[in-house]
Structure 1
Amino acid sequence: MKTLPKVLGPTELSNSFLGNLVQVCVFTRDYRRTLEGFINLGVGPWTIRTVDSSKNIEVIYRDLPADFSVKLCLANSQNMNWEIIEPLRGRSIYADFLERHGDGLQHLAFSCNSSATPSASASSKSAATGHCSTATSSAASSSIILPLRTIYAPR
């Protein structure tokens, strides 16, 4: 029988690697309608751009170069980053998600509490993976993205 982690405090287990929630990402078929809902909640202002392979931006789908475009909307509110993505054309993980699950929450990103490096289960068929990185970048501190409907297990 596997040994359970120890309770270290009211909000921490001995195997905890997840820190604070730092990003929420929603995939939608109508970014304007979704933006309106977030703006009504007080989230914003938003930066809105089109990410498109025709603009010399390398896009990948299932590990191969692809030809698609998405509307990418980003906002920061307090310590939270909000992301809304609407696929516009072509095959992508965004269009796949909407086809299978409809509009909704696609992933959450958490800061990392330690140098632990969780990884997606080898049996996962997700197109996305998660990781903790100790390298610093201009984007943010170390974090892990947990795509929903993906099983994670520490190695």
Structure 2
Amino acid sequence: MSSNTLGSNVITQVAIIVKDIESVSDNYADFFGLDKPNIVTTDPYEKSETQYHSKPSEARAKLAFFDMGSLQLELIEPDEHPSTWREHLEEHGEGVHHIAFVVKGMNEVISKLETKNIPLIQKGEYEGGRYAYMDTQDPLKVMIELLEND
């Protein structure tokens, strides 16, 4: 791993929490002249194994992904179950939730961040990889998502 804490300085994705993903997806597609992406729902706990504050969570979300050149824009509409997505919507309303970086050695990166007093908030699996949200709000003013693809 490089001397960089994450081993990467390339932002892969910016994610925005929304209340109505259909409407906001329409707005982005219209504004940028893009096709509206398919809206997908995250996997149930049996596949995602979502952990929120170290406890199992049934949390799911609707997602839409816009490819914006070298960066992906993700829209997230959370369900009612406990998650970082739901917490953000309730405490801050709609808006930027995280920036994401692809990493290698997810567990090693999480451990390294935790030794710097940056705790893991939520993690889970998705088809082809895994994600982890780290609480970098205080030092970086935005949450960081780690993505590791198989």
TM tier, shorter chain?
A: 0.5 to 0.7
Say how many residue pairs are matched.
123
Where is the helix percentage greater, Structure 1 or Structure 2?
A: 2
- Aligned-residue offset at 1:150: 3.8
- TM-score using structure 2 length: 0.61
SS at match of 2:28: helix
Q: Structure 1: which 5+ runs fail to align?
A: 1-14, 130-137, 140-144
Work out whether residues 72 and 85 of structure 1, in 8 Å CA contact, stay in contact via their aligned partners in 2: yes
Aligned positions of 1:2-151 closer than 5 A: 19-39=9-29, 40-53=31-44, 56-110=47-101, 119=113, 122-124=116-118, 127=121, 149-151=137-139
- Aligned-residue offset at 1:33: 2.1
Aligned to 2:143: none
Q: What is the identity percentage for the equivalent residue pairs of Structure 1 and Structure 2?
A: 21
Q: Alpha-carbon deviations, 1:67-118, whole Å to 9, x = none?
A: 1221011222221111111112311110001111110011123578xxxx77
Work out whether residues 47 and 75 of structure 1, in 8 Å CA contact, stay in contact via their aligned partners in 2: no
Aligned to 1:133: none
Once residues 56 and 109 of structure 1 are traced to their aligned partners in structure 2, the CA distance between those partners, rounded to angstroms, is: 22
Work out whether residues 120 and 150 of structure 1, in 8 Å CA contact, stay in contact via their aligned partners in 2: no
Q: Alpha-carbon deviations, 1:2-57, whole Å to 9, x = none?
A: xxxxxxxxxxxxx8976343211001111122212211223555232111426643
Q: Structure 2: which 5+ runs fail to align?
A: 104-108, 141-150
Larger radius of gyration: 1
Aligned to 1:10: none
Once residues 80 and 94 of structure 2 are traced to their aligned partners in structure 1, the CA distance between those partners, rounded to angstroms, is: 16
Aligned to 2:106: none
SS at match of 1:73: strand
Matching residue's letter, 1:24: V
What CA RMSD, in Å, does the superposition of the two structures yield over aligned residues? 3.5
